[in-house]
Amino acid sequence: MTNHDRAPAILAIDLDAVVANWRLIKARAPGAEAAAVVKADGYGLGAARVAKALARAGCRSFFVATIDEGIALRKVLPEQALYVLCGPLPGAGMDLVAHRLVPVLNSLEQIGLWLGLGRATGEALPAILHIDTGMNRLGLDAAAVAHLAAEPALLEGLSVPLVMSHMACADEPGHAMNRAQLDAFNALAGRLGLAAPRSLAASSTVFLGADYHFDMVRPGAALYGVNPVPGQPNPMAPVARLEAKILQVRDVDTPQTVGYGATHHVAAKGRIATVAAGYADGLFRSLGNRGFGVIEGVRVPVVGRISMDLTTFDVSGLAPDVARPGAVIELLGPDHTVDDLALEAGTIGYEVLTALGARYHRVYAGGAR
């Protein structure tokens, strides 16, 4: 077990901020149900805690990626609709039924599998149908939709609570793919001839406007504080705060170097602070000589390579009684956001969050009834 006092790095997760972000999304798509995507352990922040807080706030529908994620979530959410984005592989259908998980069916094969199970159990089993409108990743393509439209009896064996698709370029509002996918979704969903509700929008898509909202929006990243509108001010509240305690501060002078590979050459007499968090904790190695932390509002640069368990910062600009052993360097928080760290690492906020390590001492605040 981790312990707050002996833990060298603390990850604080604000569940009230998650709830506030969900409410903001809900307000941006007033006609639609707001679901929550809690795959990948709630984008690394704890699916059970996040989902319970959102369920208390009134969220009724949750998306996970895998059946195992769904089984785990069912234990904490007995009532809510749980949708499994990957759908079933052959042989996995009974696990979905046993835990009342509703698969997203992405192919004719998956539809066939689910129909077969429905015949065996004597029920029209519930399933979301996923239409591919341009991702070419998962989902029914135009030919599969045509096949289903030509044989409407097939779909009579299913109970379909939702027809959905997923956008490729929604974080670029001017991208031509957005309108093209919207048009394709309207056309293909119409061709299925079902009265089922529809859903197209993940986080960024919500901000493309009402045409894209349909009956349900499926935000993930925005709930966790990632900016859904890159290039514009982030409307979401920060959720994760990551603070690493300084283990040691050492005086350095030329001609010394810092860390593996001696990639940082000390240019002038100064001080280096070392914290106990490294790439094994999700501080990407690409942050070496590129990332930043913040001590009492002052930005301090990462110098040298990121090690597995350790990272070094140049704290020469700070007074010794500020940058001292035991003082904390903020790695994520209001002064250095998930998106800031992502930019420095050459990635996106999604990857920063889902890479957050298991060694951090986790503290949850808020989320109460």
Ligand X SMILES: *Cc1c(COP(=O)(O)O)cnc(C)c1O
Map tokens 């609709």 to a residue. 81
From the list 204, 201, 209, the residue with the least C-alpha distance to 185 is: 201
Is the distance from CB of 163 to CB of 129 less than 8 angstroms? Answer: yes
Nearer to ligand X, 35 or 272 (CB): 35
Is there a catalytic annotation at residue 52? no
Residue closer to ligand X, measured from CB, 118 or 220:
220
Nearer to ligand X, 85 or 196 (CB): 85
Q: How far is the CB of 141 from ligand X (least distance, A)?
A: 16
Contacting positions for ligand X (CB under 6 A): 37, 39, 85, 166, 202-203, 218-222
Looking at the Cβ atoms of 37 and 54, the one nearer to ligand X is 37
Closest residue by beta carbon to ligand X = 220
Q: Which of 26, 43, 52, 260 is catalytic?
A: 260
Cβ closer to ligand X: 218 or 245? 218
Q: How far is the CB of 138 from ligand X (least distance, A)?
A: 8
Q: How far is the CB of 268 from ligand X (least distance, A)?
A: 44
Kindly tell me the number of DSSP H helices and DSSP E strands found in the chain. Answer: 12, 21
Query: Shortest distance, CB of residue 257 to ligand X, whole angstroms?
Result: 40
Separation between Cα atoms, residue 239 and residue 245, nearest integer Å? 20
Which residues are bridge partners to 362 per DSSP? 11
Contact (Cβ atoms closer than 8 angstroms) between residue 276 and residue 308: no
As measured in angstroms, the least distance from the Cβ of 161 to ligand X is 15
Q: What is the DSSP string of 278-340?
A: -GGGT--GGGTTT-EEEETTEEEEB-S---SS-EEEE-TTS-TTTS-TT-EEEEEBTTB-HHH
Cβ 86 to ligand X, closest distance in Å? 9
Please say if 39 is a catalytic residue.
Answer: yes
- Identify which of residues 28 and 166 has a Cβ nearer to ligand X in the complex: 166
Measured CA to CA in angstroms, residue 152 lies from 196, 209, 295 at distances of 14, 32, 63
Q: What is the DSSP string of 85-113?
A: TT-PPTT-HHHHHHTTEEEEE-SHHHHHH
Consecutive H or E run containing 153: helix 152-156
306, 283 Cβ separation under 8 angstroms:
yes
Phi, psi of 188 (to 5 degrees): -70, -40
Label residues 329-353 b or e (16+ Cβ within 10 Å = b).
Answer: bbbbbebbbbbbbbbbbeebbbbbb
Least spacing, CB of residue 145 vs ligand X, in Å: 17
Q: Which is nearer to ligand X, 61 or 311 (CB)?
A: 61
**Catalytic: which of 26, 39, 83, 245?**
39
Q: Kind of pairing, strands 9-14 and 240-252?
A: antiparallel
Residues serving a catalytic function are 39, 260
